[in-house]
C-alpha cells in the first residue's frame, strides 16, 4: 500500500507510521464501538495515512460525512467528529449534538478530533452554543506533513498563501515549523538551514525557538537531511502563473489532482469487455490514483508532455513483445515462467492503457488553437517581450468572456514579468475586467494587488530582465526529449524557485547576491549544532540530501524540475520536497478570489 | 486586433520561441495511436480477471479507502439514506460547498449581549460550567473539565500551555501591562490559535480605544484581530478599528463587500448608493459609482421588460423569451441584452444601447463587439451593415471595424451568416494572408479569386479552379481571368 514512500532516498514510511500510531492511540482512548463523522475535506489527506481497515481494527463501525441535521442511527458507543478547526463546521456539529435524542439508550458519547490543531476559538464557540460539555475527548491530531510520495510531503492547507500574504496570519507557518520539528524527531536534526523570504525567516526562527524551549527534543538520530531550504512563494510569484508543460503538471492544470487522485472524463476509458459494451457506458468520472507506485507513471510524470508519446509507444512495443513470448514457450518450464510473469504484464498493460487514454485527452487540449495562443503569450511575457503594453490576446479573451481565472493568470503574469504594470495599462485591464465580469470583482483585484501579483510599476524601473538574465530563467535551446536543463518543464522557462535551489547547491548564493536583493524578503543561513558523534562523514561520491520547503505552495512542474536535478549524474544533491499545498495557477488564484456566493445556509 | 496570423507564424518560426507542437516526423498522435493499438490488441490475449490486481471500484476509489468506506457504511445504515446519497457521491472535491464565510450566527453574537449579561463567560469558564445556558442536552459531564487547572502560570507558561492545546485561565491578567506581556508572549510564539484566544480575552476586558491604541504598535496582533473580525463577521468593530488606524480604503472596501450579502435588489441599490461617499482610492471610486448606476438602470429595465414580456404584446419578447433576469449582471452582459431587445430605441430611454454606451463610457471596440454579437444572433444583417458603416463629412460612406474585420467575420460565421453577407466582410480583411485563409475556409469564392487576381498569382488561381463547382459562375470567372491578356501574371 505504501511501498512508494520508501522508494526515495529518505524513507517516508516512518512518517506515515508515526501518523498511524497517533491515530490508533486516539481511537483506543474512546473505548468501545465507534462511528466517525468526517469533515469531508479531511478524507482525502487521511486516506494517505490510513485505510478503513486500520479504523475497523479499532472498532470503527460506521462512517458518515458531516452535515447539518440529525445524526444517523448507529448502534455505537462513541461518535467521533474528525474536523478542521473552523467555525462553520462547529455550527454543524452543534446542530448534530442538539438533535441527539436524549432519551435513547444506550447513550452515545461524543468526541472531537481537531485536525491539525485544537482551536480555542472553536471550543469557545461550542461552549457558547452550550454543547462543549457534551464532548468527552477533545483532542488534536497534528497531521502537519502528509507523505504524498517517496520524495514529497504536503500540509494540504489550502489557505496558507492567502493567510500569510493577505491577512498576515502566520498560524500555518507555525504548523509548518511544527511539522519540521516532527520530521527532525524522526530523521535527525538538519544541520544547515537556508532561506529566502519573510515567511522563511519566521519558520526558521520558530524552529530555533522550539528547539531551545524543548531541550529534551535533542535527539541522537543520525541526520538524514544535510540541508533545509525554506522558500517563500512570493519570492517567485511567476512560476505558478505559467502553464505547466510536464505530463503530471498538465493533468493537474486540466483535471486537477487532489490528494494524488484525479478524476477523468470516462469516455476514453470504455469498459474492457467489448461484448457487453453499448448500453452501460460509464457516466461517472474515472478516478485514478497517481503516484510512483505505478512504474510507468513514475517514468513519464515529470517529462515534458512532448516526450511522453515516444515513451508510451516504446512501452507498447515492449509489452506486445512480452506477450508474443507465449508463442515461443514450448516446455512446461517456459510456460510456467510466462504465466508467473503474467500478473506483472497485465498490470503494465492496464497502466499503459490508462496513460495512453490520458495522453489522448490532454493532447486534444494542447493541440487546440487557444492553448497555443495562450502559451504564446505566456512565453512572450516570460522572455520579456511586450510586457509593458495592453496585450491583444488578453483583450480578445476578455471580449469572448473566457474564464476570469484565465484572464487573471495572464494579467498577473504580465505584471510580474514587468515588475508591475504602467498606470494606464493596469487601469485598462481593471476596467475591462470589471465591465465584463462584474464590478464586485474589484474585491478580488484588490486581493491580487495586496498579494503583489498585480501591481503598479513604481519608480518606472523594471528589474525583471536583470533577474531573468542573471538566473537564466529563459533558455532558447530547450530540449524537451532529452533535457539538459530544468527549463524543459515549461518549454523554455526555468522556474525561478528551482533555479535558486540549484544555485544554492552550486556554486552557492554568494554568486547571486545582487539578484537576491531584488527579490522580496531576507535571505539567510542558520546552523544547528549536532553532537560530535552525529556529524556526518561523507563517503566519496555520496550525494547530499536537501529538503526544499515551499511556503505558500508548489507546482508539479517545480517538483519535476527538482527531481530532474536529483537525477543529474554530477548533480551531487538529491531533493525531497515539502510544501503547504500542491497548487497550480488556477487553484492558487482561486484561493485569492473573494468568495462571491453567500452562504447556502 | 491580434497580430495577423501570417506575421505570427513567421515570427513564431523565426524567433527563439518554441511552439508547443509536435514535430512532424515524430508525430505524437501517431505514437499515441500506436500504443493504443497495442493496448487494444492485447485485450484479446489478456483475460479479464485483472480486477484482482487493482482493487478499485469503477469510480476509481480503491476498495477499502476511507471515502469508499464512508459510502459503504453509510448506505448500510438505513436511516442515513434520506438526502445523503447525493452529498456522498460528490466526493471530497465537493467540499467547496461548505462556505468559509461565517455569516448570520457568528462569534459576534457572543459579544452583542455584553450589556445585558454582566458576567460574560470567558475561556476559563469552559471548565467550570456555571452560568451557561444549556441549549442542548448535556449528555454527559466531561471528565476533562476537572483536570489541569492552575491559577499560577506566568505569561510565558500560559502561552506554552495554550500552544499545547491546554486551556488556561486568563482572568488573572488584570493590569494592562500584564495583558500586554501576555499578548507579546503569544505573538512571539507565532501560534495564531493562541494569539486569537488572547485577543478575544483582551477584546472583552479592555476598552475599545485602549485595545486599538495598544494594537497599533503591535502589527502582528493587529493583523490577527482584523482577520478574526472578518471571519466572525463583526463588521462594526472592524470598521471602527480600520477607521482608527486611518486605513480608509480598507474601510471602504470592507463596507462595500457587505453588498454581497444583500439579496433584495432595492436594498442593495440603496446600499451601493451609500457606498459612493466612502473613501475609496481615486481609481476605484468611478467603478463603485458605475456599479450603483448599473444596478439602478437594471432595476428600471427589469421592471419594464418583465411587464412587456408578460403582456405578450412585444414581438421580440415573444419570439425570444428572456431566459433570466438582467439584475446583477455585468455591464457588458447588460449591453448585450439591450442591443438584443432594445436596439432601436432612442438615446433618451434608459434601456437603449447608445444610452448605456454614453453613461458608462463604453469604448467603441467593446460596443461594436457586443452590438455585433447581439444583432448577428438575431440575424439582423442590415443592422450589422449599418453598425460598421461610417459616413464622412462629404457624405461618402465607408466600412470601418474597430475590432478588425477578421473578428467581424468570426462572429458572423458563428451565427451562421449566409455567404453573401460573410463575403462582404471577408473582402475587407486587410491582411492578404488572413483574408485568403478566411475566404477559403468559408467558401467565399469571389473573394479568393479577386485576391489571387490582385496578387497576379496565376498558379494559385488555376489551382483554385478545382475547388469551385463545375460550370458555375465562379469557374467562368476564373477562366476569363486566366485568358485575360491584360493581366501581367507574376508566374
Query: Which three cell numbers mark B26?
Result: 515524430
Q: A383 at the B interface (CB within 8 A)?
A: yes
Q: What is the pLDDT of residue B325?
A: 93
A chain contacts of residue B290, beta-carbon cutoff 8 Å: 434, 439
Q: A595 at the B interface (CB within 8 A)?
A: yes
CA distance A480 to A232: 28
Q: Report percent pLDDT > 90 for chain B.
A: 43
The residue that leads in pLDDT, B73 or A417, is A417
Query: Which three cell numbers mark B307?
Result: 411587464
The pair phi, psi for residue A64, each rounded to 5°, is -130, 160
Least confident of A276-290, B350-364, B468-482: A276-290
Q: What is the pLDDT of residue A170?
A: 83
| Contact in structure between B159 and B189 (CB atoms under 8 Å) | yes
CA distance B340 to B320: 10
Q: Are β-strands A261-264 and A135-140 bridged in parallel, bridged antiparallel, or unpaired?
A: unpaired
CA distance B428 to B414: 18
Q: What is the pLDDT of residue B120?
A: 36
* Cβ atoms within 10 Å of B463's Cβ, excluding its own: 11
Q: What is the pLDDT of residue B312?
A: 84
Closest residue, chain B, to A289 (C-alpha):
B60
Q: What is the pLDDT of residue B89?
A: 37
Instruction: Enumerate the domain spans of chain B.
Output: 150-246, 263-362, 378-443, 444-490
Contact B43 A595 (CB under 8 A): no
Q: What is the pLDDT of residue A119?
A: 82
Q: What is the pLDDT of residue A117?
A: 82
Q: Report percent pLDDT > 90 for chain A.
A: 68
Query: B141 CA to chain A: closest CA distance, Å?
Result: 6
Least confident of A316-330, B198-212, B215-229, B273-287: A316-330
Q: What is the pLDDT of residue A156?
A: 92
pLDDT band at B67 (very low <50, low <70, confident <90, very high): low
Q: What is the pLDDT of residue B242?
A: 93
Of A366, A427, A430, the CB nearest to B20: A366
Q: What is the pLDDT of residue A576?
A: 97
Mean pLDDT, range B310-315, rounded to an integer: 86
Q: What is the pLDDT of residue B74?
A: 56
As to burial, measured by CB atoms within 10 angstroms (0-12 exposed, 13-18 middle, 19+ buried), residue B48 is exposed
Query: A218 CA to chain B: closest CA distance, Å?
Result: 19
Mean pLDDT, range B225-229, rounded to an integer: 88
Q: What is the pLDDT of residue A349?
A: 92
Q: What is the pLDDT of residue B43?
A: 56
Closest residue, chain A, to B356 (C-alpha):
A435
| Contact in structure between A550 and A231 (CB atoms under 8 Å) | yes
B chain contacts of residue A261, beta-carbon cutoff 8 Å: 60
Q: Please, which residues 506-565 of chain A have a Cβ atom closer than 8 Å to chain B?
A: none
Which of B46, B60, B121 best probes binding to A when mutated, by most A CB atoms within 10 angstroms?
A: B60
Q: B95 Cβ partners below 8 Å, 6+ apart?
A: A40, A41
A201 CA to centre of own chain = 22
Q: What is the pLDDT of residue B153?
A: 79
User: Three-class SS of residue A258?
Assistant: strand
CA distance A82 to A113: 5
Phi-psi region of B206 (alpha: psi -120 to 50; beta: other; left: phi over 0): beta
Of A159, A168, A346, the CB nearest to B50: A346
pLDDT band at B134 (very low <50, low <70, confident <90, very high): very low
Q: What is the pLDDT of residue B97?
A: 37
| pLDDT less than 70: residues of chain A | 1, 103-105, 215-219, 270-282, 460, 536-540, 596-601
Q: Please, which residues 72-111 of chain A have a Cβ atom closer than 8 Å to chain B?
A: 72-74, 85-89, 91, 94, 97-98, 100, 102, 107-110
Mean pLDDT, range B241-255, rounded to an integer: 92
Which segment, A236-250, A339-353, B301-315, B335-349, is predicted with the most confidence on average? A236-250
pLDDT band at B64 (very low <50, low <70, confident <90, very high): low
Query: ipTM value of the model?
Result: 0.87
User: Three-class SS of residue A415?
Assistant: helix
Contact A87 B107 (CB under 8 A): yes
The residue that leads in pLDDT, B402 or A194, is A194
Q: A358 at the B interface (CB within 8 A)?
A: no
Average pLDDT of chain B, as a whole number: 76
Mean pLDDT, range B165-176, rounded to an integer: 82
Q: What is the pLDDT of residue A87?
A: 85
Q: B147 Cβ partners below 8 Å, 6+ apart?
A: none
Q: What is the pLDDT of residue B139?
A: 40
Using a cut of 0.80, tell me whether the model's pTM lies above it.
yes
**Is B103's pLDDT higher than 50?**
no
Element holding A227 (H helix, E strand)? strand A227-232
DSSP codes joined into one string, A56-116: HHTTEEEEEE--SSPPPP---SEEEEEE-S-HHHHHHHHHHHHTS-TT-SS--EEEEEESS
Residue/partner pairs of A282-285 with CB below 8 Å, 24 or more apart: A282/B58, A284/B58, A284/B59, A285/B59, A285/B60
Q: A483 Cβ partners below 8 Å, 6+ apart?
A: A304, A564
Q: What is the pLDDT of residues A162-195, one digit of tens each?
A: 999 988 888 889 999 999 999 999 999 999 999 9
Q: Are β-strands B397-399 and A109-114 bridged in parallel, bridged antiparallel, or unpaired?
A: unpaired
Q: What is the pLDDT of residues B253-278, one digit of tens each?
A: 999 999 998 999 999 999 999 999 99
Q: What is the pLDDT of residue A279?
A: 53
pLDDT band at B82 (very low <50, low <70, confident <90, very high): very low
Least confident of B121-125, B194-198, B341-345, B399-403: B121-125
CA distance B75 to B84: 9
Least confident of A239-243, B140-144, B442-446: B140-144
Q: What is the pLDDT of residue A449?
A: 96
B chain contacts of residue A343, beta-carbon cutoff 8 Å: 53
Kindly tell me the sign of the dihedral angle through the C-alpha atoms of A407, A412, A414, A415: positive
A chain contacts of residue B12, beta-carbon cutoff 8 Å: 376
**Is B99's pLDDT higher than 60?**
no
Q: A320 at the B interface (CB within 8 A)?
A: yes
**Is B100's pLDDT higher than 50?**
no
Q: What is the pLDDT of residue B371?
A: 95
Least confident of B83-87, B419-423, B481-485: B83-87
Amino acid at each position: 500500500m505504501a511501498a512508494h514512500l520508501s522508494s526515495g532516498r529518505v524513507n517516508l514510511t516512518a512518517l506515515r507510521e508515526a501518523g498511524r500510531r497517533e491515530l490508533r492511540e486516539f481511537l483506543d482512548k474512546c473505548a468501545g464501538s465507534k462511528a466517525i463523522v468526517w469533515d469531508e475535506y479531511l478524507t482525502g489527506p487521511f486516506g494517505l495515512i490510513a485505510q478503513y481497515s486500520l479504523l475497523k481494527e479499532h472498532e470503527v463501525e460506521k462512517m458518515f460525512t458531516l452535515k447539518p441535521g440529525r445524526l444517523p442511527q448507529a448502534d455505537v458507543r462513541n461518535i467521533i467528529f474528525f474536523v478542521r478547526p473552523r467555525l462553520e463546521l462547529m455550527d454543524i456539529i452543534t446542530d448534530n449534538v442538539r438533535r441527539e435524542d436524549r432519551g435513547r439508550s444506550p447513550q452515545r458519547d461524543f468526541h472531537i478530533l481537531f485536525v491539525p490543531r485544537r482551536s480555542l476559538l472553536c471550543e469557545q464557540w461550542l461552549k457558547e452554543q452550550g454543547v462543549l460539555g457534551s464532548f468527552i475527548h477533545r483532542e488534536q491530531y497534528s497531521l502537519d506533513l502528509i507523505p504524498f510520495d517517496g520524495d514529497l510531503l504536503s500540509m494540504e492547507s489550502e489557505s496558507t498563501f492567502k493567510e500569510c500574504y493577505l491577512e498576515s496570519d502566520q498560524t500555518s507557518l507555525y504548523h509548518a515549523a511544527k511539522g519540521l520539528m516532527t520530521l527532525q524527531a524522526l530523521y535527525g536534526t538538519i544541520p544547515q538551514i537556508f532561506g529566502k523570504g519573510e515567511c522563511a525567516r519566521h519558520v526558521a526562527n520558530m524552529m530555533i525557538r522550539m528547539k531551545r524551549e524543548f531541550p529534551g527534543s535533542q535527539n541522537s538520530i543520525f541526520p538524514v537531511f544535510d540541508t533545509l531550504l525554506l522558500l517563500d512563494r512570493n519570492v517567485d510569484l511567476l512560476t505558478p502563473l505559467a502553464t505547466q508543460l510536464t505530463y503530471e503538471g498538465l493533468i493537474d492544470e486540466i483535471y486537477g489532482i487532489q490528494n494524488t487522485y484525479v478524476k477523468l472524463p470516462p469516455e476514453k476509458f470504455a469498459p474492457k469487455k467489448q461484448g457487453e459494451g453499448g448500453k452501460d457506458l460509464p457516466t461517472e468520472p474515472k478516478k485514478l490514483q497517481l503516484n510512483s507506485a505505478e512504474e510507468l507513471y513514475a517514468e513519464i510524470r515529470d517529462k515534458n508532455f512532448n516526450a511522453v508519446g515516444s515513451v508510451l509507444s516504446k512501452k507498447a512495443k515492449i509489452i506486445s513483445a512480452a506477450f508474443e513470448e507465449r508463442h515461443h514457450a514450448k516446455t512446461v518450464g517456459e510456460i510456467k515462467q510466462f504465466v508467473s510473469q503474467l500478473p506483472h504484464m497485465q498490470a503494465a498493460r492496464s497502466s499503459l492503457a490508462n496513460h495512453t487514454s490520458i495522453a489522448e485527452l490532454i493532447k486534444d487540449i494542447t493541440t487546440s488553437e487557444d492553448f497555443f495562443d495562450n502559451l504564446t503569450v505566456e512565453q512572450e511575457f516570460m522572455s520579456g517581450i511586450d510586457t509593458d503594453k495592453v496585450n491583444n490576446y488578453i483583450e480578445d479573451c476578455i471580449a469572448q468572456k473566457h474564464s476570469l481565472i484565465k484572464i487573471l493568470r495572464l494579467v498577473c503574469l504580465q505584471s510580474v514579468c514587468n515588475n508591475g504594470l504602467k498606470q494606464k495599462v493596469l487601469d485598462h485591464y481593471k476596467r475591462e475586467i470589471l465591465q465584463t465580469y462584474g464590478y464586485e470583482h474589484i474585491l478580488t483585484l484588490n486581493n491580487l494587488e495586496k498579494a503583489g501579483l498585480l501591481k503598479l510599476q513604481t519608480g518606472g524601473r523594471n528589474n525583471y530582465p536583470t533577474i531573468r538574465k542573471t538566473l537564466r530563467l529563459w533558455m532558447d535551446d530547450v530540449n524537451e526529449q532529452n533535457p539538459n536543463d530544468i527549463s524543459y518543464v515549461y518549454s523554455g522557462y526555468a522556474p525561478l524557485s528551482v533555479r535558486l535551489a540549484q544555485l544554492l547547491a552550486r556554486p552557492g548564493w554568494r554568486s547571486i547576491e545582487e539578484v537576491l536583493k531584488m527579490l522580496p524578503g531576507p535571505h539567510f543561513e542558520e546552523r544547528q549544532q549536532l553532537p560530535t558523534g552525529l556529524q556526518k562523514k561523507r563517503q566519496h561520491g555520496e550525494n547530499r540530501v536537501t529538503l526544499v520547503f515551499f511556503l505558500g505552495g508548489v507546482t508539479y512542474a517545480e517538483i519535476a524540475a527538482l527531481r530532474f536535478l536529483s537525477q543529474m549524474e554530477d548533480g551531487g544533491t538529491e531533493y525531497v520536497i515539502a510544501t503547504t499545498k500542491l497548487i497550480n495557477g488556477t487553484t492558487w488564484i482561486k484561493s485569492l478570489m473573494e468568495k462571491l456566493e453567500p452562504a447556502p445556509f | 486586433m491580434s497580430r495577423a496570423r501570417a506575421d505570427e507564424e513567421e515570427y513564431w518560426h523565426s524567433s527563439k520561441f518554441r511552439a508547443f507542437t509536435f514535430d512532424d516526423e515524430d508525430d505524437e498522435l501517431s505514437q499515441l495511436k500506436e500504443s493504443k493499438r497495442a493496448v487494444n490488441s492485447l485485450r484479446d490475449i489478456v483475460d479479464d480477471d485483472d480486477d484482482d490486481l487493482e482493487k478499485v471500484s469503477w469510480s476509481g476509489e480503491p476498495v477499502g479507502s476511507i471515502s469508499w468506506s464512508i459510502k459503504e457504511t453509510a448506505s448500510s445504515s438505513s436511516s442515513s439514506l434520506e438526502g445523503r446519497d447525493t452529498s456522498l457521491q460528490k466526493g471530497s472535491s465537493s467540499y467547496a460547498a461548505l462556505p468559509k464565510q461565517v455569516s448570520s450566527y457568528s462569534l459576534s453574537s457572543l459579544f452583542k449581549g455584553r450589556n445585558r449579561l454582566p458576567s460574560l463567560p470567558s475561556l476559563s469558564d469552559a471548565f467550570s460550567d456555571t452560568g451557561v445556558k444549556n441549549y442542548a442536552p448535556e449528555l454527559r459531564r466531561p471528565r476533562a473539565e476537572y483536570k489541569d487547572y492552575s491559577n499560577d502560570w506566568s505569561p510565558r507558561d500560559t502561552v506554552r500551555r495554550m500552544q499545547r492545546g491546554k486551556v488556561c485561565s486568563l482572568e488573572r491578567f488584570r493590569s494592562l501591562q500584564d495583558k500586554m506581556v501576555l499578548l507579546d508572549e503569544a505573538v512571539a510564539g507565532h501560534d495564531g490559535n493562541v494569539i486569537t484566544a488572547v485577543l478575544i480575552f483582551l477584546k472583552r476586558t479592555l476598552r475599545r480605544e485602549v485595545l486599538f491604541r495598544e494594537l497599533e504598535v503591535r502589527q502582528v496582533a493587529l493583523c490577527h484581530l482584523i482577520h478574526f473580525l472578518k471571519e466572525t463577521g463583526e463588521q462594526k468593530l472592524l470598521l471602527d478599528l480600520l477607521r482608527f488606524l486611518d486605513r480608509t480604503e480598507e474601510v471602504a472596501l470592507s463596507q462595500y463587500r457587505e453588498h454581497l450579502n444583500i439579496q433584495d435588489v432595492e436594498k442593495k441599490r440603496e446600499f451601493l448608493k451609500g457606498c459612493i461617499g466612502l473613501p475609496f482610492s481615486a481609481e476605484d471610486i468611478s467603478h463603485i459609482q458605475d456599479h450603483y448606476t448599473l444596478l439602478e438602470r437594471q432595476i428600471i429595465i427589469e421592471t419594464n421588460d418583465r411587464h412587456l414580456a408578460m403582456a405578450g404584446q412585444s414581438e421580440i419578447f415573444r419570439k425570444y423569451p428572456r431566459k433570466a433576469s438582467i439584475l446583477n449582471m455585468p455591464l457588458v452582459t447588460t449591453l448585450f441584452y439591450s442591443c438584443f431587445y432594445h436596439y432601436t430605441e432612442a438615446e433618451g430611454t434608459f434601456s437603449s444601447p447608445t444610452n448605456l454606451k454614453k453613461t458608462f463610457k463604453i469604448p467603441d471596440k467593446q460596443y461594436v463587439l457586443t452590438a455585433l454579437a447581439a444583432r448577428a444572433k438575431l440575424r439582423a444583417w442590415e443592422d450589422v451593415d449599418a453598425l460598421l458603416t461610417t459616413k464622412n463629412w462629404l457624405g461618402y460612406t465607408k466600412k470601418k471595424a474597430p475590432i478588425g474585420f477578421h473578428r467581424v467575420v468570426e462572429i458572423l460565421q458563428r451565427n451562421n451568416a449566409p455567404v453573401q453577407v460573410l463575403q462582404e466582410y471577408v473582402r475587407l480583411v486587410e491582411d492578404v494572408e488572413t483574408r485568403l485563409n478566411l475566404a477559403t475556409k468559408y467558401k467565399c469564392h469571389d473573394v479568393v479569386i479577386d485576391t489571387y487576381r490582385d496578387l497576379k498569382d496565376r498558379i494559385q488561381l488555376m489551382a483554385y479552379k478545382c475547388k469551385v463547382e463545375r460550370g458555375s459562375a465562379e469557374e467562368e470567372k476564373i477562366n476569363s481571368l486566366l485568358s485575360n491578356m491584360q493581366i501581367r501574371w507574376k508566374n
